[in-house]
Amino acid sequence: MGEFDLIARYFKRPAKRSPLGVGDDCALLAPAAGMQLAVSSDMLVEGRHFLSTVEPARLGHKALAVNLSDLAACGAKPLAFTLALALPGVDEPWLEGFSRGLLALADAHGCELVGGDTTRGPLNICITVFGEVPAGAALLRSGARAGDDIWVSGTPGEARLALEVFRGTIALPADAFDTARRRMEQPTPRVALGQALRGIATSAVDVSDGLIGDLGHILASSGVGATLDVDAATALISVDTGNLGEELRRTCALSGGDDYELVFTAPASARNAVGQAGMDSSTRVTRIGRIEADAGLRIVDAAGAPVSQRFGSFDHFV
Amino acid sequence: MGEFDLIARYFKRPAKRSPLGVGDDCALLAPAAGMQLAVSSDMLVEGRHFLSTVEPARLGHKALAVNLSDLAACGAKPLAFTLALALPGVDEPWLEGFSRGLLALADAHGCELVGGDTTRGPLNICITVFGEVPAGAALLRSGARAGDDIWVSGTPGEARLALEVFRGTIALPADAFDTARRRMEQPTPRVALGQALRGIATSAVDVSDGLIGDLGHILASSGVGATLDVDAATALISVDTGNLGEELRRTCALSGGDDYELVFTAPASARNAVGQAGMDSSTRVTRIGRIEADAGLRIVDAAGAPVSQRFGSFDHFV
């Protein structure tokens, strides 16, 4: 199968909303008047962002989900995406599964595949996603203010549990592993929540490298510090972790990435509005800390006592 | 050096025109009223799109040039781009050269780096570029009509000569090799010509896989055929090819890719306008054939006699 047949069979579909889709030198997008275009690009490499054992359909889902998660963190509505794909060869069952998972999530969010590139090479998936947001309404990392609450969506830390099982460092009951594995391999981008938080949240980021590391981006961009309640975050892990110790559960909750939950801040006066945004988007939201003027991140337990355990963050080069 | 230091040192610059650049979950673009956004994505893999021997600065240039070339083929004006980069490790001299070549070309076209991704993995460069074009004015592949002239910019075929030297199949005089190698490693995207052809050309494509293969996209999309003068195309090769035979020169002209010239069509009544567009953009433009109603591509010599030599086109998977 040649390059153009491959594109036609697995990735070419008629563009419905975009003026021009797959098959010309460029795709054309027409943002509505008064809208800004939010753009994000993520590259997934085997062995770093996914294991070779992952089902192709789940991988297709995840490749788009991590990009939609960036739109969610900006409060943007998905519009379209491009897919650049390096493949070691033409593996039709893989392409069938990958494109099925990818396009199912795209359809669920009304996000059109409008173009891209295919080439031979070590497996590499690069998606660039486009969303729209009213001018001036995007959620940024830089808007957190002292006194704001810190919130997190969903159940961060479960993807990391699955990774630790794959690494062989822990064991989980079968049901718990299945749930955690799905969280790692097929994360749910919080697209509806992100849009519901426009005008309410003062800052937001999606958790890809770990809750602490990504919250750190908000603190640095906003020039503030924070106190975080490790027990409130750890309690969100809802899968049965059997006899695993609390230290490991805390590590998963605070350092685990790959859940693609949103961490965001909002004034204490907006607690009801945040709760409503969570309900409107069918997404659990939980307060886990508070922004403070003093720089640095202070981690405390439910009783307010400092926690001495150290938590890391993921970095591709250290 | 960590991931975020790497980005800060080599790739983070203040956004001048875009509302939000590198360093948040998304970048924000604000196309002017009445403009559509042209989007293209290209992925470059070592050994397929470039040789490991290429100077990093030239590679940085080329990685953006092939994307700007897609904007040129649509008649779009460059605005911004994202860069996703998989690197085997942190090689500072390589990063310094690569980013220097990349950003020099970006500055020359007023095209801002607004975001992207870095990860560890086999070397892979994926750029997505954004340009603007008045609604309805983009040059498409589908507009060629019987009777149109076929034009090409510049001197297609020279990049292929350099590739054949690297492959060891031919030798070139030193000066000629140096020129041809620069054409392959540091192509000039025909951005100004593309914009000058808006309202004049009926279709356009950029030549990445070979003149015949890419012209074939115009023919297929437009539902037309063509007759191409191989001698008119081959005569454009301006480097000294010494004692190489005409057959090899023809192969380079018609099957050679990687020159990133534009092939475009325009009515015969627009010949002066095309010539003026070439002059306004300081780009040589040459008529090399004619669009016809009969499907298929007929290749003839300067005397109009059919040429029996077969010419291929590049495909990553066959």
Q: Is the pLDDT of residue B218 over 80?
A: yes
Q: What is the pLDDT of residue A64?
A: 97
Lowest mean pLDDT, pick from A102-116, B6-20, B85-99: B6-20
Q: What is the pLDDT of residue A295?
A: 94
**pLDDT over 70 percentage in chain B:** 96
Q: What is the pLDDT of residue A180?
A: 92
Residues of B in contact with A90 (CB under 8 A): 317
CB A230 within 8 A of CB A300: yes
Average per-residue pLDDT for chain A: 90
Q: Is the pLDDT of residue A85 over 90?
A: yes
The 10s digit of each residue's pLDDT in A249-289 is 999 999 988 889 999 999 999 999 999 999 999 999 999 99
Q: What is the pLDDT of residue B97?
A: 95
Annotated binding site of B for Mg(2+): 25, 40-42, 70, 117, 206, 209
**Rounded distance between C-alpha atoms, residue B193 and residue B76, angstroms:** 10
A151: which 2 tokens?
A: 């919130």
Confidence of residue A209 (pLDDT cuts 50, 70, 90): confident
Q: What is the pLDDT of residue B318?
A: 55
Q: Is the pLDDT of residue A204 over 60?
A: yes
**Rounded distance between C-alpha atoms, residue B205 and residue A24, angstroms:** 8
Q: Is the pLDDT of residue B12 over 80?
A: no
Q: Where are the alpha helices (DSSP H) in chain B?
A: 3-10, 56-74, 92-108, 158-167, 174-185, 191-196, 211-222, 230-234, 246-255, 271-280
Contact A25 B40 (CB under 8 A): yes
Between B206 and A209, the more confident residue is B206
Helix (H) or strand (E) holding A145: none
Contact A26 B73 (CB under 8 A): yes
CA distances to A105, A180, B34 from A165, rounded to whole Å, are: 27, 10, 53
**Rounded distance between C-alpha atoms, residue B241 and residue B167, angstroms:** 16
Question: What is the average per-residue pLDDT within B227-256?
Answer: 91
**pLDDT over 90 percentage in chain B:** 70
Highest-confidence segment of A150-154, B38-42, B161-165: A150-154
Contact B29 A39 (CB under 8 A): yes
Helix (H) or strand (E) holding A162: helix A158-167
- Residue A127 one-letter amino acid: I
Contact A37 B31 (CB under 8 A): yes
Strands A296-300 and A225-229: parallel
Q: What is the pLDDT of residue B317?
A: 55
- Nearest residue in chain B measured CA to CA from A137: B28
Interface predicted TM-score (ipTM) of this complex, two decimals: 0.85
Backbone angles phi, psi at A144, to 5 degrees: -70, 140
Q: What is the pLDDT of residue B244?
A: 86
Question: What is the average per-residue pLDDT within B232-259?
Answer: 90
Q: What is the pLDDT of residue B316?
A: 59
The 10s digit of each residue's pLDDT in B17-33 is 667 767 677 888 888 88
The 10s digit of each residue's pLDDT in A58-81 is 999 999 999 999 999 999 999 999
B222: which 2 tokens?
A: 């437009």
Q: What is the pLDDT of residue A56?
A: 94
Task: Please tell me the distance in Å from B304's CA to the nearest CA on chain A.
Answer: 31
Task: Please tell me the distance in Å from A304's CA to the nearest CA on chain B.
Answer: 31
Which one of B41, B45, B190, B313 makes the best mutation probe of the A interface by having the most chain A beta carbons within 10 Å? B41
- Nearest residue in chain A measured CA to CA from B220: A23
Contact A85 B43 (CB under 8 A): yes
β strands within chain A, DSSP E? 27-29, 35-45, 77-87, 112-120, 124-134, 149-153, 203-206, 225-229, 262-266, 285-292, 296-300
**Rounded distance between C-alpha atoms, residue A62 and residue A259, angstroms:** 11
Helix (H) or strand (E) holding A216: helix A211-222
The 10s digit of each residue's pLDDT in A10-67 is 777 776 766 776 767 788 888 888 888 999 999 999 888 888 888 999 999 999 999 9
Q: Where are the alpha helices (DSSP H) in B53-155?
A: 56-74, 92-108
**pLDDT over 90 percentage in chain A:** 70
Q: What is the DSSP string of B230-266?
A: HHHHHTT--S--TT--HHHHHHHHHH---S--EEEEE
Backbone angles phi, psi at A210, to 5 degrees: 125, 145
Residues of A in contact with B45 (CB under 8 A): 86, 119-122, 124
Confidence of residue B57 (pLDDT cuts 50, 70, 90): very high
Task: Please tell me the distance in Å from B64's CA to the nearest CA on chain A.
Answer: 14
Task: Please tell me the distance in Å from B29's CA to the nearest CA on chain A.
Answer: 5
Residue A38: strand pairing partners: A131, B28
Question: What is the average per-residue pLDDT within A1-13?
Answer: 75
Q: What is the pLDDT of residue A50?
A: 84
Confidence of residue B314 (pLDDT cuts 50, 70, 90): low
CB A72 within 8 A of CB A116: no
Backbone angles phi, psi at B20, to 5 degrees: -150, 130
Residues of A in contact with B318 (CB under 8 A): 1-3
Q: Is the pLDDT of residue B36 over 60?
A: yes
Q: What is the pLDDT of residue B9?
A: 78
**Rounded distance between C-alpha atoms, residue A295 and residue B131, angstroms:** 40
Q: What is the pLDDT of residue A30?
A: 83
Q: In what order do the strands lie in the sheet with B149-153?
A: B203-206, B262-266, B149-153, B285-292, B225-229, B296-300
Q: Is the pLDDT of residue B2 over 80?
A: no
CA distances to A154, A188, A197, A285, A318 from A276, rounded to whole Å, are: 15, 20, 10, 10, 40
| CA distance between the termini of chain A | 40
Confidence of residue A318 (pLDDT cuts 50, 70, 90): low
Between B3 and B212, the more confident residue is B212
CB B306 within 8 A of CB B206: no
Q: What is the pLDDT of residue B52?
A: 81
Residues of A in contact with B46 (CB under 8 A): 121
Q: Is the pLDDT of residue A317 over 70?
A: no
Q: What is the pLDDT of residue A274?
A: 98
Question: What is the average per-residue pLDDT within B57-86?
Answer: 95
- Nearest residue in chain A measured CA to CA from B134: A30
Q: Which domains does chain A have, with CATH numbers?
A: 3-134 (3.30.1330.10), 149-300 (3.90.650.10)
Q: What is the pLDDT of residue A316?
A: 59
Helix (H) or strand (E) holding B77: strand B77-87
